[in-house]
Amino acid sequence: MQETSTKPYLLRALHEWCTDNGYTPHIVVQVDENTQVPRAYIRDGQITLNIGSLATHNLRIDNDWVSFQARFNGVTEDLWVPVAVVTAIYARETGAGMGFEVQEYETGKSGAAAEPGTADPAPPAADKPEDDPSPAGGKRRSHLSVVK
């Protein structure tokens, strides 16, 4: 049996720590083809998302996915982020948090979180628009460091 990653547990713990201290938790995500986020907000292949209670609805951080609803420009969006591509979680007000490496993962593995009302464990695929603002190959370095 393969050992469970510590990453989702650390995400949940740091989210709770931010909330308990009155801070706003944000995650940084390295966007891939399985990440369902508003494409217009992706910069350099990454997106930073506010996952605080005032910015999200139905937030769920399980061992495979971070999922929630949020409003972008007044439009409610369903967001699905594989835990494996979360590169950091931090408090907006202080910058305190933790960085992570992007991990290999399979979207169809058993035990993955299913979207409510579906049998498919992976979120619906989001079509990448032709005018995607993320430049090819451009990667920005995070100011956070990886802690092992």
Q: What's the pLDDT tens digit per position in 10-43? A: 999 999 999 999 999 999 999 999 999 999 999 9
Do 52 and 59 form a contact (C-beta atoms < 8 A)? Answer: no
Residues 110 and 96: their CA atoms lie apart, in Å, by: 34
* DSSP conformational letter for 96: -
Burial class from Cβ neighbours inside 10 Å (0-12, 13-18, 19+) for residue 59 reads middle
Q: Give the pLDDT of residue 146.
A: 59
Query: Cβ neighbours of residue 127 under 8 Å, at least 6 residues apart?
Result: none
Q: Are 135 and 121 in contact (CB under 8 A)?
A: no
Give residue 141's pLDDT.
47
Query: Would you call 82 helix, strand, or coil by DSSP?
Result: strand
Alpha-carbon span 138 to 31, nearest angstrom: 12
Q: Flag whether the pTM goes above 0.75.
A: no
What's the pLDDT at 148? 55
Report the Cα 71 to chain-centroid distance in Å: 15
Q: Give 41-58 pLDDT, tens digit per residue.
A: 999 999 999 999 999 999
Tokens of 110: 């058993």
13-17, 31-35, 72-76, 132-136: range with lowest mean pLDDT: 132-136
